[in-house]
Chains A and B, each alone.
Chain A
Amino acid sequence: MISINNLSFNYEEVNILDSIDLIIKNNGLTCLVGGNGVGKSTLLNLIVGELELQVGAIHYNDKNINKSDLLSKISYLPSVLYDPLYITVQELLNLSRFNNKGFLNFKLESEDKKKIQFSIEKCGLQNYSNRIFSSLSSGEKQKVWLAFCIAQDKNFIFLDEALNNLDYDNKDIFFNLLKEISINKGVLISTHNIDMVIKYADRVLVLKDKKIVYDGLPKEDLYKII
């Protein structure tokens, strides 16, 4: 459980987030919605430590936690991702289990290999694994990045608009997949895709005017609050 207490953030004197309190549980699919520039990415970046906290605190299971320990619990995909040059999908996914064991190479244990294989199957990447990552389409890349997070198998997955390049059918498939993995992981995704939110979310957070103005079950007239 990640709890965020009294979080405020200013960017160059402009107040973006104002005393936000939020608890993210170890399971369930939470969708963070809101217009462009309301601070969805800022909120995610603050939680994972990409931005420095200015006001407020973040606790893990009600205890203090330092940035790198918290990050070891969260797989995070930022909205802007850089294409790794030259490497194949399989090589990229191997890096998701990177560790410091071994001297001249990091060592993939059989458990690591199993998790990578699981993520490849879950995301339907069997036919892609030997392709060069940078040659894939933007939607295919997003599938690979999601597989990367699944292979990491941390307690939480935070996604910043990570499925927005998928076509409608694939969005459906992948939101369904997120729902499935959220049985034992806290999944938080920021998105503009209200259809999917209504269909799949266990919990909706609406961010507007620096505050979370709605926190609850998805409902049909969600777009009116945003």
Chain B
Amino acid sequence: MNKFITLSITIILLGLLGILLGVFIGPSKIGAGEFIDAIMFKSSVANNTIIWDIRLPRIFIAISVGSSFAVAGVILQTTTRNPLGDPQLFGITGGALIVQALIITGLIDATPWLNTILSVLASIICSILIYIFASRETFKPATLALIGFSVGAMCLAISTAIMAYQRVFTQQALGVIGGSTANIAWSSYIPMIPFMFIGLFFILSISYRLNILSLGNTIIRNVGVNPNRIRLLSMIFAGVLSGSAVSVVGTVGLLGLIAAHISRIIMGNDVRKVVVFAIPVGSLLMLYADQISRLIFMPNEVPVGLVISIIGAPIMIYLAWRHL
């Protein structure tokens, strides 16, 4: 219980600090008084806009996207018995990436809601593809990761080709491929929320069954559970989470992988605890990566996905070295 309290306090403090950074630090100086005025729409139009339409949405988006990718990462690692599980590494975000490419080039004329729905569907298709491979138990973890990586690389190539064909090389294109939380309107973010809650609720409600998936199919059937049904369902919901997140920020590589491993190292072996704890871990990672992406070359920005990769790769190397 002590550990639980310490962790909760740490998470809350880190979260608050991240949010304060996100609200107060930036190219325009905004003090506490101005912030409170702006929250109540009493400040200048410029300040209201900066707080309400630029800084606050990013914080919400970072937290939502971070928890979605992190939980998807845990699910993929558990269902495929594979420590390399990650929505991007397994190619699950690839389908949604193609949808994003089609939308920013104008080949599909989509409202934010349609964007999210199409991205979710495309991710589900990729999830089912990976599921079909993962249900063949003889596949080694590396084989599955290679298949996922290839699916992902192919989708990335198709997306880039679509953008090249339409001559779109804007900041927006870089944002989709590299992942970016910049300049996203509330209206683009809101469609993600129901999908996120549906995905998280479903995964949490079946997470105790996920413990059993690490046993191998024969033993799973022996304890009276149909392994493939749970595997398929949870991978579909990993697709829902990743697809809806991609529809808002594009792909953010390694986030799911790192968050899942950090969560597992801190919480131990029980998948339920790992899933729950992945939510704050993913949110905080994304929140801080986003602050770095905003502030390091202020007023210019680097895509947040690249920041995650740059700080995530050494963390991952360390984790692999110490714990795998």
Say whether B215 contacts A84, CB under 8 Å: yes
Say whether A98 contacts B269, CB under 8 Å: no
Query: Is A61 among interface residues, defined by CB-CB distance under 8 A?
Result: no
Interface size on A, residues (CB 8 A): 32
Query: Is A103 among interface residues, defined by CB-CB distance under 8 A?
Result: yes
Distance A201 CA – B35 CA, assembled complex (angstroms) = 81
Listed residue (A75, A92, A98, A102) with the most chain B CB atoms within 10 angstroms of its CB: A98
Question: Separation in Å of the A57 CB from the closest CB of chain B?
Answer: 21
For B258-299 the 0/1 string (1 means CB < 8 A from A) is 000000100011101000000000000000000000000000
For A79-120 the 0/1 string (1 means CB < 8 A from B) is 001101111100110011011001111100000000000000
Distance A78 CA – B270 CA, assembled complex (angstroms) = 25
- Closest chain B residue to A158, Cβ basis: B222
Within 8 A of A (CB), among B130-160: 137
Distance A46 CA – B136 CA, assembled complex (angstroms) = 19
Query: Is A50 among interface residues, defined by CB-CB distance under 8 A?
Result: yes
Interface size on B, residues (CB 8 A): 25
Say whether B223 contacts A87, CB under 8 Å: no
Task: List chain A positions with a Cβ less than 8 A from chain B.
Answer: 48-50, 68, 71-72, 74-78, 81-82, 84-88, 91-92, 95-96, 98-99, 102-106, 132, 148, 152
Q: List 28 A-B contacts (CB under 8 A).
A: A48-B218, A48-B222, A71-B221, A76-B218, A78-B218, A78-B219, A81-B218, A82-B81, A84-B214, A84-B215, A85-B81, A85-B83, A85-B214, A86-B214, A87-B211, A87-B269, A91-B211, A91-B270, A95-B211, A95-B212, A98-B224, A98-B225, A103-B205, A104-B205, A104-B272, A105-B272, A132-B269, A148-B219
Task: List chain B positions with a Cβ less than 8 A from chain A.
Answer: 81, 83, 137, 204-205, 207-209, 211-212, 214-216, 218-219, 221-225, 264, 268-270, 272
Given A76-B218, A82-B219, A102-B208, 8 new contacts (CB under 8 A): A48-B222, A49-B221, A88-B269, A92-B215, A95-B215, A99-B224, A104-B207, A152-B223
